Amino acid sequence: MNEAKTIFEVRRWASLFLQENNRETGVGELLVQHHLGMTRAQLFANAQDEVSVDVREKIEQDLRQHVAQGTPVQHLIGTEEFYGRLFKVNQDVLIPRPETEELVLGVLERMKQTGMFSEPLTCVDIGTGSGIIATTLAKELHHATMYATDISSEALQVAEQNAHALHADVQFRQGDFLAPVIEEGVTFDVVVSNPPYIPEGDRDTLSDVVRDHDPSLALFAGEDGLAAYRRIIEQLPAVVKKETLLALEIGHDQRHTVPALIEAAFPHAYIDVVQDINQNDRMVFAWLSE
Q: Establish whether 272 is an annotated binding residue.
A: no
CA neighbor of 159 nearest in space, from 73, 74, 89: 89
251 assigned binding-site residue? no
Number of residues written out for the chain:
290
127 annotated as belonging to a binding site for a ligand: yes
Distance CA 128, CA 148 (A): 6
Contact 275, 253 (CB under 8 A): no
Known binding residue 115? Answer is: no
70 belongs to an annotated ligand binding site: no
130 marked as part of a ligand binding site: yes
Q: Is 83 annotated as a binding residue?
A: no
Closest to 173 in 3D by CA, of 188, 162, 184, 189? 184
Residue 194 assigned to a binding site = yes
Asked whether residue 195 is marked as a ligand-binding residue, the answer is: yes
Nearest 5°: CA angle at 68, between 67 and 72? 55
Using CB atoms within 10 A of its CB, is residue 223 exposed (0-12), middle (13-18) or buried (19+)?
exposed
Instruction: Kindly state the helix (H) or strand (E) to which residue 126 belongs, with its residue range.
Output: strand 121-126
Eight-state DSSP code of residue 198 = B
Q: List, as residue ranges, the binding site.
A: 127-131, 150, 177, 194-197
Residue stretches of the annotated binding site for substrate? 194-197
Q: Which residues are annotated as a binding site for S-adenosyl-L-methionine?
A: 127-131, 150, 177, 194
